[in-house]
Chains A and B, each alone.
Chain A
Amino acid sequence: MATAALPETETTTRKAAPGGQPKSWYQKNRLQIAPWLFLAPAMLFFTVYVIAPIFQSMWISFYAWDGLGEAEWVGLGNYSELLDDDRFYTSLWNNLLWLVLYLLAVPAGLFIALFLNQTVTGMRLYKSLFFFPFVISQVVVGLIFSWFYNPNFGIVGKVWEFFGAVPPSILGDENFVTYGIIFAGLWPQIAYCMILYLTGLNNVSPDQVEAGRLDGAKGWKMLRYVILPQLWPATFLAIVVTVIGALRSFDMIAIMTQGGPYGSSNVLSYFMFEQALSEYGFRMGYGSAIAVVLFLIMLVFISYFLWNMYQDEKDGH
């Protein structure tokens, strides 16, 4: 739409209005005022519950506070304690693991989407069923997998026994636990990426594929030079949701291990919750400091995504 269209419209409206009648202040300025009236409820809610709490958390992170009594100003005390806390580094490292390994969901989703992008009978149903894991809550996924991993009766234990080995306790072993949880988390995430790519493949221009074929491109080359560039919107969205999902991971850890054993599967999101709101004590200030660190990490990605969207908007999307 043209930017110039609006003022013009306004003048026409004025001319069209029945002559002679005095116009109220609202009528004269309605194009300036109306958007704010429309925005008011959403802005109010969003400010109270999302925007303000971000700054309040930053503020609380400078205090020692148990959530009930008087808060005591400690300045950067919480942050310097954080820098000496081994649990913080374990969580940070696990967050990095999540981020890197979770991104495997993107190529895996593409792979399944390519496998399913056919038109044999019943394909619609197959696609829906493949998408299934994403619709189920992560709590349920976590329960299923913790039970799979159980060395006494889980399926993993059975497989190990079949090969005559002693089954490992995946969720009880500091070296395996995070990988075990991430593997479980990948299941729904791959399904999500798959559906994004299936939609993307649907919109790939057949002309370009045909042109590519005439040029002798096929298989991997076709995918790399013709298909993938057209799938960029899907890839971008898949990366966004996967990165955010990885850094937000909480449900699975809470259900499967509660950060254990000995905090070895902790991530910042769960570590924060544990410090601020669990039997380990109500350290709201310390918890908020962890939350601020997590927020700043996420802010890097959020800024990048927004910048990308801004470029799109500018190009008259």
Chain B
Amino acid sequence: MFPKPIEKSSEAVQTTYKIFLPIALFIWLLPLLAIFMTSVRGAGDINTGNMFGWPTSFQMLENYTAVFTESEAATYFLNSIKITVPTVILSIAMACLAGYALAIYRFKASLWLFFIFIAGNFVPFQILMVPVRQLSVDTGLYNTVTGLVLFHAAFQTGFCTLFMRNFIKALPFELIESARIEGVGEFKIFWYLVLPLVRPAIAALAVLIFTFIWNDYFWATVLTNGESSKPITAAMKALNGQFVSRWHLVSAASLLAAVPPVLMFFLMQKHFIAGLTLGATKG
């Protein structure tokens, strides 16, 4: 283990470390703490400029309720869910199929296709923007939840396929070989043999894609213009304008928007990290 385990150091070093650790965390998360403190203040504090002192009144419940009663926040949240959940399902389903094909079968185009999926995943959004927007307008999908879902699912398939292919490739190939000798059909092998084995990969991708899509701002701005299908991240800017200078409400809304991905992360931490490190971790 590196650096040297702290238990092997002197008592003084250990104590210093244990004292310094929470201080470092406090500084690191200071922006978040500040925004939380603001979100529980009353309007009076904001007007008198008491932003960083102790709040004169705690109005946590009032502020967080006001976000919903004074704006369309509830609609935005619902939109976010309507966009995120189908995207996760669709992109992972396609990636399971494609990843299986690229990992199990030996054919010339295999590596090429794999690299195209990876490369596509890295391109700047801007080079897709004009044609994708035009396609959505032409097909009547502009400003709809479906339009966003279809695009996100297509784009995320690149990353998901990369992940799935590597995961399936690491499975013991003999399993598939022996199933083939038994005369089991290709799709049945995929469905009954491989799919149950890739469940950890599916979990990792699910939390990761959920977070990516939930936090998307660019496409939500490009592919929507009304209130009806805007997700919460894209609406943050509108809310910011709507709650002019009412920073306590802006910060409450910001924190609310961050809750779902944060929850996802805490509940499925191991899978989340496995996804981020492209499965380099063994749990």
Partners in one complex: yes
- Please report the C-alpha to C-alpha distance between residue A298 and residue B153 in the assembled complex, in whole angstroms: 22
Q: Are A50 and B158 in contact (CB under 8 A)?
A: yes
Report how far A38 CA is from B151 CA in the complex, Å. Answer: 20
A295 and B127 in contact, given A137-B258, A196-B276 (Cβ under 8 angstroms): yes
**Interfacial chain B residues near A60, Cβ < 8 Å:** 130-131
Which residues of chain A are near B224, meaning CB under 8 Å?
none
CB nearest neighbor in B for A250: B218
Whether B31 lies near A53 (C-beta < 8 A) is no
Q: Quick check: is A266 within 8 A (CB to CB) of the other chain?
A: no
- Cα of A101 to Cα of B140 in the assembled complex, Å: 42
Task: Give B70 Cβ to nearest chain A Cβ, in Å.
Answer: 18
Question: How far, in whole Å, are A50 and B161 apart by their CA atoms in the complex?
Answer: 14
Size of B's binding interface in residues, CB under 8 A: 106
> Is B167 engaged at the interface, CB distance under 8 Å to the other chain?
no
Q: Output the least CB separation between B243 and chain A (Å).
A: 11
| Structural contact, B32 and A248, CB atoms closer than 8 A | no
The segment out of A72-80, A124-132, A163-171 that lies at the interface is A124-132
Q: Tell whether A31 is near chain B: CB-to-CB under 8 Å.
A: yes
Docked CA distance A15–B25 (Å): 65
Number of cross-chain contacts by CB at 8 Å: 301
Known: A130-B25, A139-B237. A273 touches B2 (CB 8 A): no
Please state if B115 and A306 are interface contacts (CB–CB under 8 Å).
Answer: yes
A contacts, CB < 8 Å to B? 1, 3, 5-6, 9, 12-13, 16-17, 30-32, 34-36, 38-39, 41-43, 45-46, 48-54, 56-57, 60, 67, 114-115, 117-120, 126, 128-133, 135-141, 143-145, 147-148, 152-155, 158, 187, 192, 195-196, 199-204, 206, 209, 218, 222-223, 226-227, 233-234, 237, 244, 247-248, 250-251, 254-255, 268-269, 272-273, 276-277, 284, 287-288, 290-292, 294-295, 298, 301-302, 305-306, 309-310, 313
- A199 B120 Cβ-Cβ under 8 A: no
Decide if B183 touches A17 in the complex (CB within 8 Å). yes
Q: Does B281 contact A (CB under 8 A)?
A: yes
Q: Which of B117, B151, B281 has a CB less than 8 Å from the CB of A203?
A: B281
Tell me whether A120 and B269 are in contact in the complex, defined as CB-CB below 8 angstroms, given that A41-B97, A250-B218 are known contacts: no
Can you show 23 pairs from A to B with CB atoms below 8 A apart? A34-B105, A35-B102, A36-B101, A39-B98, A52-B131, A119-B5, A119-B6, A137-B217, A137-B258, A140-B258, A143-B254, A148-B31, A155-B51, A155-B52, A199-B273, A202-B281, A234-B280, A250-B217, A254-B237, A291-B130, A294-B127, A295-B126, A309-B118
Q: Is the CB of A50 within 8 A of B98?
A: no
Decide if A128 touches B265 in the complex (CB within 8 Å). Answer: yes
Chain B residues whose C-beta falls within 8 Å of the C-beta of A305 in the assembled complex: 118, 122
Q: Are the CB atoms of A51 and B116 closer together than 8 Å? A: yes
CB neighbours of B173 from chain A (8 A): 1, 5
